[in-house]
């Protein structure tokens, strides 16, 4: 399919990080849920860990450009999201699965993903192929034309992942994507994550330490809106050090030990 | 059946016509196989990609009806296949085994030059010929195969920045050769 | 593309066999041509059969595998519901629209049952707030399960809100027209306030959220105009024909205010009062 290649497409990348936050503060309701966060992430699968209320969802929402930061800088794919920028162009390169994921129950999986593809302003000629590809990649090809209300929770969430990747985004934000997935589906999901992580920046917010440890190239641990730890999954058991934290696995023990140490060190 | 064009075949496939599906396969699979084999040295991978492509066509034929836009009769089949190839290569890249195509050897003269020049245009012909294989591969992936920069990077197994640099150099070289 | 010129046989054979001696530009020309020319694809098939046994074997192998896969793969249905309408009126709407029509029906009933034409006309009183039931559902987290995805999408913004609002008006205005005709009111007396309140809800919605804006305006109108008017059995001065120019002016001002704010409706609300 012969096509024209624009100059913008081949212009050199001007930014260093896919996500770059400096002293980021984002409000959620009355609280400052993200409170002075510094973070730099690029290609790869990054796990975002933290206890409930740590600010994970708020952080993911601000990167998805649906929440405006209160202060600090946040640069997403080279665009600073505080200023007056073209959100449309930026959002076309982002895929987002919110934590509270809802859908139209009478729509089929295909119709749902097609609707999202329309919201993402994908060219109509490309949409059927992209929708089919996304549905196949998440393993829902056999259920593609069943209504969303007939799907189990895990399958519905997979449809949610399909809508997030339909536009082959450069930046993929998944907030609790494994909720409701059974162990086999989780394995398939991790394989998909690894595939995506080869050339996409993927941020997976989850409270399940094991998911993250298995699939991610690196981990970010936040608490009370601040960065606590950033490193590779193998560092978790090591970081526990002398203290034996609580948890069933070495990763979980490392995680709770790091968290406790951080909290004790707070003034 | 043989008098129908591909568009009509897809229309029939959408209604479950196996004969139409087999006919579409007969007409397009040699072309697709040859083209894919030129981009990927692993025949097993090519077979996998072809299987996925035709399966996708079978499953979603109703949404591909009317898809031959932009003047290309089977370009949309290629688009499906190219994207599946990129996905498969991404999976292999993650596992560390990347089967790349061998780049075409440079320029041995052949008898049918003039006839082929008519197909592409004489100046563009010689301009493309003058490009180095690296640059040509990038241009082929992006212009002829319709891949994005990221997909080209996966296909060729080089970083994205390299793809962009080569694309820019190729454009400069072509512009110089054509002017 | 010149259809009389086809790929010469030898070049096609070299292409089919993957001969490394073919020049890159020739390959390029052949591939570009093959996408368009069924005849040459047919000839390529023959060349593969005769000259490239590996490719032919590959093609046959895939065909065998496909035979089993295709049997067990369900196909997409050929008839599908026209979901394009959801680009204008998402599924959450319909309940709201039905409610609105019921309200209008009740208003007509009251007007006809009472002495028709005498102030206050219930239809005229209700007209400004009739669309607000539907408008509240246009951009609301509680009423649209996809709300966060919609807000996060490239298409989010005032245009999408306007598109959906138009769907609401497309349902409400004809109903109002019928109601107005049945009760003998002139069109402008219900149309202008109706549009003004709709536009006002959209403008106010940028500040406090569309759902609350619609609710606030509806309450304000009910308390401030409908209730006194019903209690005193007098038509309110805001609905007199002399006030129509003011309504028109108000619509103009609000429209300009809307047009100036480009960034509206692109983010979630995170105000302290309306936390999600």
What pLDDT shows up at residue C92?
79
* Tokens describing residue C76: 């997409």
For the residues C270-274, what does the mean pLDDT come to? 48
Provide the shortest C-alpha distance from residue C44 to chain A (in Å). 18
Distance CA B88, CA A174 (A): 22
Q: Do B67 and A10 touch (CB under 8 A)?
A: no
- Taking CB atoms within 8 Å and a gap of at least 24, the contacts of A124-129 are A125/B67, A125/B69, A125/B70, A126/B79, A128/B60, A128/B63, A128/B64, A128/B67, A129/B56, A129/B64, A129/B67, A129/B76, A129/B79, A129/B80, A129/B83
pLDDT of residue C6: 86
**CA–CA dist B73, B66 (Å, integer):** 11
Residues in B closer than 8 angstroms to A202, CB to CB, are none
Q: What is the DSSP letter of A49?
A: E
Reported ipTM exceeds the 0.85 cut: yes
Is 70 exceeded by the pLDDT of residue C49?
A: yes
DSSP state of C217: H
B26-33 mean pLDDT: 96
pLDDT of residue C62: 97
Q: Is the predicted pLDDT of residue C88 greater than 50, yes or no? A: yes
Give the model's pLDDT for residue B107.
Answer: 46
Cβ within 8 Å, pair C38-B5: yes
Q: Which chains touch C (3 or more CB pairs under 8 A)?
A: A, B
- For residue A67, list chain C residues with Cβ-Cβ distance below 8 A: 267-268, 270
Asked if A119 lies within 8 A of C91 by C-beta distance, the reply is no
Q: Is B136 on the interface with C (CB under 8 A)?
A: yes
H or E element at residue C105: helix C93-113
pLDDT at position C238: 79
- Assigned domain for A185 exists: yes
pLDDT for A32 beyond 50:
yes
Dist CA A174 CA C105 (whole Å): 46
Is A229 inside any structural domain? yes
Q: Please enumerate in sequence order all residues whose Cβ is within 8 A of that of C174, keeping only pairs 6 or more positions apart, or say none.
A: none
Beta-carbon contacts of residue A243 (< 8 Å; ≥ 6 apart): A257, A260, A261
Residue A242 lies in a domain: yes
Task: Please give the share of chain C, as a percent, with pLDDT higher than 70.
Answer: 93
pTM: 0.91
Q: Round to the nearest angstrom and report the end-to-end CA distance of chain C.
A: 57
pLDDT tens sequence across B63-99: 988 665 555 678 889 999 999 999 999 988 777 666 6
Question: Taking the mean position of all CA atoms in its chain, how far away is CA A52?
Answer: 16
Q: Flag the least confident range among A12-26, A150-164, A249-263, C44-58.
A: A249-263
Give the pLDDT band of residue A241 (cuts 50, 70, 90).
low
Residue B25 at interface with chain C, using a CB cutoff of 8 Å: yes
The whole-angstrom distance between B15's CA and the closest CA on chain C is: 7
Q: DSSP for A78-115?
A: TEESSSS--HHHHHTTEEEE-SS----TTSBHHHHHHH
Q: B90: distance to nearest CA of chain A, Å? A: 6
Q: Does an H or E element contain A22, and which?
A: strand A19-28
User: Nearest-CA distance from C74 to chain A in Å?
Assistant: 7
Q: Which domain holds residue A95?
A: 43-65+87-265
CA distances in angstroms from A122 to A8, A61, B61, C27, C75, listed in the order given: 18, 22, 20, 31, 24
Q: How does DSSP assign A138-186, residue by residue?
A: TT-GGGTTSBGGGS-HHHHHHHHHHHHHTT--SEEEEESTTTT--HHHH
Residues of A with a Cβ under 8 Å from any B Cβ are 1-5, 7, 9-13, 110, 125-126, 128-129, 131-133, 136-137, 141, 144, 168, 170, 191, 194-200
Q: Which of residues 45-64 of C touch B (CB under 8 A)?
A: 45, 48-49, 52, 54-56, 58-59, 61-63
Q: Does the residue A9 lie in any domain?
A: no
Instruction: Report if residue A37 sits inside a domain.
Output: no
Answer yes or no: is A79 within a domain.
Answer: no
For chain A, percent of residues with pLDDT exceeding 70? 96
Query: CA-to-CA distance for C223 and A264, rounded, in angstroms?
Result: 56
Mean pLDDT of A61-79: 93
In the predicted model, is pLDDT for residue A76 greater than 60?
Answer: yes
Judge whether residue B171 has pLDDT over 90.
Answer: no
The yes-or-no verdict on residue B1 having pLDDT over 70 is: no
Q: What is the mean pLDDT of residues B160-171?
A: 91
Q: Is residue A152 part of a domain?
A: yes
Closest-approach residue (CA) in chain B for C39: B27
The pLDDT of residue A56: 94
User: Please, what are the domains in chain B?
Assistant: 1-99 (1.10.1740.10), 112-179 (1.10.10.10)
pLDDT band, residue C272 (cuts 50/70/90): very low
Locus of tokens 């309408």: C85
Distances (CA, A) of B153 to A6, A19, A38, B84, B147: 17, 21, 30, 15, 9
Q: Do B167 and A5 touch (CB under 8 A)?
A: yes
What value does the mean pLDDT of chain A take?
A: 90
* Predicted confidence (pLDDT) per residue in A188-215, tens digit: 899 999 999 988 999 999 988 888 778 8
- pLDDT average, residue stretch C110-129: 76
pLDDT above 70 (res A220): yes
Q: Which chains touch B (3 or more CB pairs under 8 A)?
A: A, C
Number of structural domains in chain A: 1
CATH number assigned to the domain comprising residue A221: 3.40.50.300
pLDDT band at C81 (very low <50, low <70, confident <90, very high): confident
DSSP C242: G
**Using CB atoms, which residue from C83, C153, C272 is nearest to A120?**
C153
Domain assignment present for A133: yes
> Least CA distance to B122: which residue of chain C?
C25
Residues from chain B contacting residue C73 (CB–CB below 8 Å): 55, 58-59
pLDDT-based confidence at residue B109 (cuts at 50, 70, 90):
very low
């Amino acid at each position: 399919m012969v096509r024209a290649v624009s100059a913008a497409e081949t212009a050199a990348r001007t930014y260093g990080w896919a996500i770059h936050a400096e002293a980021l503060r984002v409000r959620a309701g009355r609280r400052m849920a993200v409170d002075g966060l510094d973070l730099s992430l690029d290609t790869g699968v990054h796990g975002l860990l933290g206890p409930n209320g740590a600010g994970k969802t708020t952080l993911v929402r601000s990167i998805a450009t649906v929440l405006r930061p209160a202060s600090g800088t946040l640069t997403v794919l080279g665009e600073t999201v505080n200023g007056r920028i073209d959100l449309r162009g930026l959002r076309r390169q982002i895929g987002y699965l919110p934590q509270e994921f809802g859908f139209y129950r009478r729509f089929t999986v295909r119709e749902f993903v097609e609707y999202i593809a329309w919201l993402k302003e994908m060219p109509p000629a490309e949409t059927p192929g992209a929708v089919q590809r996304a549905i196949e990649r998440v393993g829902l090809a056999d259920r593609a034309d069943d209504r969303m209300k007939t799907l189990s929770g895990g399958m519905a969430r997979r449809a949610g992942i399909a809508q997030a990747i339909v536009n082959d985004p450069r930046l993929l934000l998944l907030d609790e994507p494994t909720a409701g997935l059974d162990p086999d589906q989780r394995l398939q999901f991790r394989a998909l994550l690894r595939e995506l992580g080869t050339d996409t920046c993927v941020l997976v917010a989850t409270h399940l330490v094991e998911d993250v440890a298995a699939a991610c190239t690196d981990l970010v641990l936040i608490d009370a809106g601040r960065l606590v730890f950033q490193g590779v999954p193998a560092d978790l058991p090591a970081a526990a050090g002398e203290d034996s934290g609580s948890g069933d696995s070495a990763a979980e023990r490392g995680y709770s030990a790091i968290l406790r140490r951080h909290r004790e060190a707070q003034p | 059946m043989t008098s129908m064009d591909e568009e009509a075949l897809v229309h029939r496939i959408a209604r479950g016509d196996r004969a139409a599906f087999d006919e579409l396969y007969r007409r397009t699979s040699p072309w697709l196989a040859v083209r894919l084999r030129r981009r990927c040295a692993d025949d097993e991978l090519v077979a996998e990609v072809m299987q996925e492509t035709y399966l996708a066509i079978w499953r979603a034929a109703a949404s591909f009806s009317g898809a031959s836009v932009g003047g290309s009769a089977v370009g949309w089949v290629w688009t499906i296949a190219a994207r599946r190839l990129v996905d498969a290569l991404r999976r292999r890249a993650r596992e560390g085994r990347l089967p790349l195509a061998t780049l075409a050897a440079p320029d041995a003269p052949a008898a049918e030059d003039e006839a082929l020049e008519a197909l592409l245009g004489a100046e563009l012909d010689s301009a493309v010929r003058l490009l180095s294989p690296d640059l040509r591969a990038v241009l082929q992936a992006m212009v002829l195969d319709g891949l994005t920069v990221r997909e080209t990077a996966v296909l060729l197994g080089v970083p994205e920045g390299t793809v962009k640099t080569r694309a820019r150099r190729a454009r400069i070289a072509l512009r110089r050769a054509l002017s | 593309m010149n259809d009389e010129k086809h790929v010469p046989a030898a070049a096609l054979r070299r292409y089919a066999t993957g001969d490394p001696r073919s020049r890159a530009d020739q390959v390029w020309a052949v591939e570009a041509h093959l996408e368009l020319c069924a005849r040459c694809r047919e000839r390529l098939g023959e060349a593969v059969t005769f000259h490239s046994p590996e490719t032919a074997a590959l093609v046959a192998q895939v065909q065998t595998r496909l035979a089993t896969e295709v049997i067990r793969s369900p196909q997409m249905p050929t008839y599908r519901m026209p979901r394009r309408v959801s680009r204008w009126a998402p599924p959450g709407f319909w309940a709201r629209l039905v409610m609105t029509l019921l309200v209008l029906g009740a208003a007509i009933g009251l007007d006809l049952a009472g002495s028709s034409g005498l102030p206050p006309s219930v239809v005229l009183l209700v007209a400004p707030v009739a669309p607000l039931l539907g408008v509240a559902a246009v951009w609301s987290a509680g009423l649209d399960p996809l709300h966060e995805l919609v807000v996060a999408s490239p298409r989010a913004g005032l245009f999408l809100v306007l598109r959906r609002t138009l769907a609401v008006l497309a349902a409400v205005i004809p109903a109002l027209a019928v109601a107005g005709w049945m009760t003998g009111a002139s069109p402008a007396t219900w149309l202008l306030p109706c549009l003004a309140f709709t536009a006002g809800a959209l403008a106010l919605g940028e500040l406090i959220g569309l759902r609350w804006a619609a609710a606030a305006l509806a309450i304000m109108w009910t308390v401030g105009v409908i209730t006194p008017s019903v209690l005193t059995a007098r038509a309110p001065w805001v609905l007199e024909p002399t006030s129509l120019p003011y309504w028109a002016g108000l619509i103009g001002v609000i429209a300009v205010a809307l047009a100036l704010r480009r960034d509206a409706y692109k983010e979630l609300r995170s105000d302290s009062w309306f936390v999600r």
